[in-house]
A and B are shown apart, each in its own frame.
Chain A
């Protein structure tokens, strides 16, 4: 099983500033034949299901503001939220789908400072 570890667990950032969330996998999630990382970022707001915001580690879902960006490859990944807005308050999860069982990070709770 691939273990996903996020840091930090909790993050408080001022409005308009940048938030950075890290995710590390216990083994590579890069599929070399396609050069794609099987890594997704989800955003979950209270009372809602998770919403996919980034796939293939760096591709934004349609409709997701461009202040959200993903980067990284192999085992180390980052979700960056630039120009933080109040509506970005949520818990963020990374998830790998390189191999079964599909696993999630423990989540990072993002709040406004």
Chain B
């Protein structure tokens, strides 16, 4: 079974500063995706960033980037130039790809980290 662990229940950061959210996972699979999702107070889940395990290059999306360490099974999210709108609960998630490269789409979520951006 796969597990995803987010060890930081809550984090806070000043506006315009940088913050890093931690995530570790455990799996015996070699072919998978990792995701960070954001859930603002509206509770709508929003995809922040995705990383394919076969790619060595870390994914980036504007102010969001990841540090993917496959051997260490670590997948941290860095938010640069934090904005008030980044205040949300952030979930790290894992999805297995089957041998054919397609997946059943089942996500395993971490416990979540509540991030508060202060003005």
Q: Do A and B bind each other?
A: no
